[in-house]
Structure 1
Amino acid sequence: MFRVERDLPLGVWRLITKFSLSNATGQYRPTNHAYKMSIIGDSKIKDSDFHCDDMFFSFASFEDVGNGSIKSHFLIEVIGQVESLKDVQTVQVKQKDRKKVEFRLRDTKGETIACCLWGKYAEQIESHVQEANDPNMILVIRFTKIGFYQD
């Protein structure tokens, strides 16, 4: 595992040969691709001349999130302006203290969705709000799951 972490630094393009493809199954998959790629013992990782600055975002529309047309077992990406940001709360979850923050995101069409972030993500929002003091905060959330918390 150390070799893979060392040879695949974040944000650097690499060429990977000799890998395994299998059916992508299970809950909370990061994409809706039918297959997943796995690095195996024989995998070769080399430098690549290819470079692309595309962040590969695929933002879900708030309408699709709200009407249930997105399968809840796929992780999604959303972007929007933070509205109705509540204070970070510490709540008991399975006899442990966890921080949570609730807010709404508004898209460019004016539609909103309710959001709830937990743990370190709630702490990150809390520290950013204290530092930035910006009422027009835009938030990108990657690999988030669709779920329901108190309706």
Structure 2
Amino acid sequence: MKIYLKSLIAILILVLSSVEINAQYGNGRSGNGYGRQRNSIPQAQTPQEEPKALTAEQIVDNEMPNITESVGLNPFEEAIVRTILTKSVQKRIELQILKLAPDKTREAMEKIVKEQEEELKEGLPEDKYEAFEKLQKERFKSKKKKKKKRKNKD
């Protein structure tokens, strides 16, 4: 009876300790020993939210402080430029929404740019109009340089 009791206690201790050892090895995950490193079930990726499209007014509001400072516009001229740019940006946004053929899109963009230039010529004094045009060209050149640098890095 003593031998039976001792062997029963020994077997019970072995069984209980082996469960603890097994749990430590696999961190309680499917017994393969890798724990939390990889799940056998792939996780679905949550789609990233698309950035909210800015309205024409918001785009112009972001650019106006820089334009006002570099060109030196007074409040009346600033209101004129803001109105013209808002109208022009709104037309460009509408054009992007329409998704026309590339050649028609290009023609429409050229028409929008010409209208914007004519309205700015009428609304601004010559020196301020020229300063505005110079600012636009400098921005366009700097964007091209950045794109070229990015292409060279790749």
Relative to the length of structure 1, the TM-score reads 0.18
Structure-2-length-normalised TM-score = 0.18
The structure with the largest alpha-carbon Rg is 2
Greater fraction of residues in helix: 2
